[in-house]
Each structure stands twice: as structure tokens, then as C-alpha cells.
Structure 1
Amino acid sequence: MKKSERLNKELIYLSYRDQFHLKELEDEFNISERTALRDIANLEQIGLNFYVEKGRYGAYHLTKNKLWVPINFNLEEINAIFFALKALNKMTTTPFSNAYQQISHKLMKSLPKNRQDDIKTQQKVVSYHQQLTLHNVKYFKLLIKAASENIVLKMISEHYFKNAELVQVRDVFYQQGNWFSNLYNLDQKKWLITRCDQISFCEITDKTGKSKHELDALYSHFYQKCYSIPYSCELTKLGKEKASLNLYPTMKIEEKNDNTFLTGACNPSELDYLVDYIIGLGAEAKIIYPEKLKSRYIQKIKKILSKY
């Protein structure tokens, strides 16, 4: 391992520690005591802050007055960062949308001129055609904060409750050009999935809601009770690829006896929605069960054929 690469790995390794002993560094990176001491001196020069506790059980204690230290990236890692930023820039609505261009600009300026030219050339020949975000989400940062810190919100969601009610955000996810959130309505004592752009009012409250553990338990119970219709569809190789590009959180792709299946469970009210999804897979999917889903599927196909 090159010295620069080892120092990088040591920085990452130590960033999660409050303290460390010289022997730990030696064992983790298979280096001698002399090399470990030189590495510690190099790490201090590039910004790692620590103080030494002397004595038989003394240790290096990391200080927290400077949380970030320089990290060096190799060419492959630099390319990966720029490719990721270009892909994220297509997803126009996130809490950090305005920052992507700034990050890219700063990273580019930190590179030598020949490396900048290489990156620009590669970026010209790569494009992304994924689904763009269809709607702006006004309260995106607030939803992320509420989900991360388990905050109770007062909210109005035009398609679910017209008056302000208390909710907790379990998570936020992106699907087919829209952002969605799993919400627990504390007033109605029920779960719902709402499109984030359809939230017309949202503010933080000082109310105490369910703990993370309680929310997970309630969600698990809700899922088992309400998603009561298991289904399975056999997929061709192309069907697997198509389904993988648009797989919902309640769906799985499973391999059994050299065959591929789309499996999951749905709410009775979602049968028609599931039918539309399977029709979108065309001849690459065949419903195995349940019969109710097959029947709805055939009805929808007949309705489509009647237009011709």
C-alpha cells in the first residue's frame, strides 16, 4: 500500500475514534512501530488534532475542535464523484439542489489543469436520461429534519387531511419523479403515504410523539394488517430489468429454481394500481397469484383492447 493511500485510510479509521493506542494502528495497518510514529506525525501535519496522555496506559486523544481533515482521492474516486454529481443534478428537487453545481466547481478548481481537462472530456460524452423530479417540494428540509430527529409536525396534506393535524415522519423516498413520505397521523392514529409536494402547510411543534422504536413497531403491524394480499409474477430476463428500474419499497425480485419472480403484498385498495404496474411490464411478466389480481388484469386488458 502506498504511503498516501495508507494515510488516507488511517484518517478515515481514526475519524470514528475518541482515542487510540499506537499498537492499534500497527495492528490495523500491519506496520512497524517506527512507521506508525512517522504516520502520526504526518497526520498531525495535515490537520489531525490530538494530545498525548503519558504513562503505561497512555493514549492519543483526538480533539474535536477541527472535525474535517483533508482527504486525498485517486483518479477513479475523483471520476466517481463527478459522475455522481452529474446524475444528482438531474434530480432537481432535493434539499441540496443548489449545492451540486458549487461542489462540482470547487472540486474542479482543486484539481491540476490536466486533470480538469480529463474530467471535462469524460463529462461531455456521458449523459443521464432518468426521470426528472416532476414537482417542487416546499417543505423538503423540514421533512428530512423531522424524520432524522423524530420531531412531531403540524401538517396539512390536501389529499388526506384538510385541517392541520399532528404527524411524525418515518422516512422520505423518491419514486417515478416524485418524493413520497411515510407519515404516522397522531390524531387519526393511522399510517399514510403522501406525496411531499402535496403538503400545503408544515411546521415544527413541541409535542412529544412516538419513539423511533414505537414507530417501527406500529409500521410493521400496519404493513402486516393492511398489505394483506400477497402476489407473485414470473418475469423474463427483460422483465427483471424493467421491474428493477422501477421497484417500489413493498416489492422484491426473487430467484427460485432458475426462475425470476416479482413478489410482495398490496393493500386491497391498490389492486388496480398494481395491475397498471404489471401491464407496464408488457409480455415480460406473468401473474402467478392471486386469482383476484389475474381477474383485474384481464379486465383491464379487455378494456384497452376495446378501444381498438
Structure 2
Amino acid sequence: MTYWETKTIHTARGNFEVFVKGEGNPICVTHHYSEFNHTGDYFADSLTENNTVYLVNLKQAGNSSKADEAHELSMFDAVYDLEAIREALGYAKWTFAGHSTGGMIGIIYGIHFSTSLTSLIIVGSAARKYANSSSECIYHPDHLHFERMQQLIETLKRSDLSPSERERFSKERTQLSLFHPDKYDEYFSLGIHKKMSAPRMNFFIREEMIFDVTRELEKISTNTLILSGRYDVQCPLSFSVEMNELIPKSQLFVFNESNHYPFLEEKSLFRQVISTYLKETISY
């Protein structure tokens, strides 16, 4: 595998650890509470074929700046941090692509800074709190696997886990969100690994309970591609359908044999859809 180039981007809002891979038009990728490293990220990797991808560690993740105030861990502050990074890199515009909670950040990015975006790609995400809005969501108390998912999340926050323990619990957690759980080793075979930022995760759990930007989706003026696995248990398809109905220049593509990871579960089709979309919508 090819490792990602590590850079530190200095901005007025702090210093950010960013990993870079690929050549072509710029795409920014981040996630609310993931700690990335030079091995990269499976979702971000799916975008590197014809683009320069910037994979960002937000505050309190990896070697990026720590947060002095709690609000700096919010999705809103994350968007301002990404804007500062874009300006520091010298781009007038770039594409933002986000999976899951990264997509939630992307939605807020589109609402407030569409003029900074050539396009927006939202994968397996939602514009409102999903945990207690749908019993199809694995974070809803009525879901069959709710209790086990909560146990795994709390376990993975621990700092005393051995690498093998962390890998085992992380694998089980991910398998709960795969259409074919038995294909886990096939999907995750590249040696890409990342950690979870406990401070960011803890803040997100509180923030998600009041998250609902559906009434502002009409403010997103950039071209938006919404992608969802038909059997997504984390952010059920209904949330992607809702976003597609409310974002003016959006289109929705559903992956019929995917859960939460269509970029791995239907890898070739996913890359084809992304490539076609970017060619059709972006002109510099």
C-alpha cells in the first residue's frame, strides 16, 4: 500500500495534521471523531484515483491542536477550521466529501459556505439526529443490536486496550454495519487503521441529540451527491431520501447491496458513480 504524505497546516485557528494522497482536483475529507494517520482511510482512499485528497485530523485528534474551549469540538467549529485550512492551502474552492458524521459536517459546510465548494459528496449520513429518530438505526434503543453497539463504543474509548483487543472489538463493531459481515477481512485488507478521539466522540454524543438542520438544507447551493446503502443501520436510507428532497441541486444514488460502507461493499460501482459525478459537475 502507498502511505499518505503527512503535513502540518498552520492557520489562525490552530495547526492541523493533514494527510495527502493523489493528484488532480482538491477534495477535503474528515470525520467528526476519527484520528487518522499515514495509513489513510478507506473512504478517502476511494477518492484518490483522479483527485488530490486532503484527509484532516480535526482538533483534539492526532497531532492537530488541542481545543481550549469545548465548543471547538463542535461540527460548526469544524467547518470554520476546514475553511481556514482551505485558505492556507491557497484554494479558492474545493470539494468536500464526508462519510457518516463526516457527512454531517459536510452538510453544515454546504449550508454556510457553499461558495467555497465546487461540490459536496455526502455518504451514509443525515441532516438530523438519527439515533432516536428511527428504529431502523442501530443507535435507537429499539434496534436489535443497540445494546451490543453501545458496549463496543464504550469499550473502544478505553486507553488500556491491547492492540489485539482493540482490533477485535473494532472489527465486531464494524461487522454490525455490513451487509455481508463475513466479508469483513476481504473489505478491510489494506492495513489501514485509525483510532477514535474520545473527547470528540463524547462531545458529538451530546451534540447529536439536538442536531437538526433540515430547515436549512435549501441554503445549500452547490452541486450535491448523496449516496446511501439500502440497508444502512447507522444512518438509514430514509435520511438520505430526506436530504435529496430538500437540497436544491442534489441527486441520490442508492447501493442495493450495501449497509454503511458502500465504498467497500460495492467498491467498483461506488468509484464509478463518484468519477462520473465529478466529471459532470466540476469545471475549473
Greater RCO, 1 or 2 (C-alpha within 8 Å, sep 6+): 2
Length-normalised TM-score, structure 1: 0.21
Choose between structure 1 and 2: higher strand proportion: 1
Choose between structure 1 and 2: higher helix proportion: 1
Give the structure with higher Rg (CA). 1
